[in-house]
Amino acid sequence: MNIKLIAIGKTDNKNLQTLMADYQKRLGFYIKFEFEIIPDIKNAKNLSEAQQKQKEGEQILSKVSASDVLILLDENGKHMTSEAFSSYLQKHMNSGIKQLVFVIGGPYGFSQEVYNKSDGKLSLSKMTFSHQMIRLFFIEQLYRGFTILRNEPYHHR
Ligand SMILES: C[S@@+](CC[C@H](N)C(=O)[O-])C[C@H]1O[C@@H](n2cnc3c(N)ncnc32)[C@H](O)[C@@H]1O
């Protein structure tokens, strides 16, 4: 099984990029992981919030295949401990699916079409994080999840 993480817009923050790259590399020892960024469209056109969500939603759905399991990162989603999340990853790996796709919404969240197509919602906290910060927190939890599954020590920096 592959894991793909989709997010909206590049980050210009070098610290965030460095930390992301570090966790991506570590995660790569456990699973084929792809991080895909959908270009931020807000600067290109003068769109309303609803129009922006709609456009981003179309782009998100164009990246997802019918056979993928699509999970949205959403503050109103299911809460899990890191141990439960590792079992959740294992359950998907055992199910024989080819790709598990997680998506982080843009600054305004997801369009209704994206919610309608999703297979589940996962929350990392009841608090709202920026669409930039959450990608680092989530990738760290993916890495942590695999260290739990393999019963390996968590490597701190
Ligand atoms: C700034 S938030 C969007 C908030 C927006 N008000 C909404 O209704 O979703 C941007 C994205 O970050 C992710 N996000 C933010 N906080 C989160 C949390 N606590 N748990 C999971 N995902 C979160 C979600 O994917 C969200 O779409």
The enclosing domain of 81 has a CATH number of 3.40.1280.10
Report how many domains make up the chain: 1
The pLDDT assigned to 12 comes to 87
Residue 157 covered by a domain = no
Residue 70 covered by a domain = yes
Q: What would the pLDDT profile of 46-83 be if each residue is shown by its tens digit?
A: 888 898 899 999 999 999 999 999 999 999 999 999 99
Residue 154 covered by a domain = no
Task: Give the mean pLDDT of 16-20.
Answer: 96
Binding residues for S-adenosyl-L-methionine: 73, 105, 124-129
Residue 100 covered by a domain = yes
> Which range marks the domain in which residue 8 is found?
2-42+49-149
Q: Report d(CA 47, CA 60) in Å as an integer.
A: 17
Out of 128, 130, 133, 142, mutate this one to test ligand 1's pocket (max ligand atoms within 8 Å of CB): namely: 128
Cα torsion at 81, 90, 77, 19 (round to 10°)?
70
> Is the CB of 128 within 6 Å of ligand 1?
yes
Alpha helical stretches, state H, the chain: 14-27, 49-62, 82-94, 112-117, 133-149
Q: What would the pLDDT profile of 21-40 be if each residue is shown by its tens digit?
A: 999 999 999 999 999 999 88
Separation of first and last alpha carbons in the chain: 28
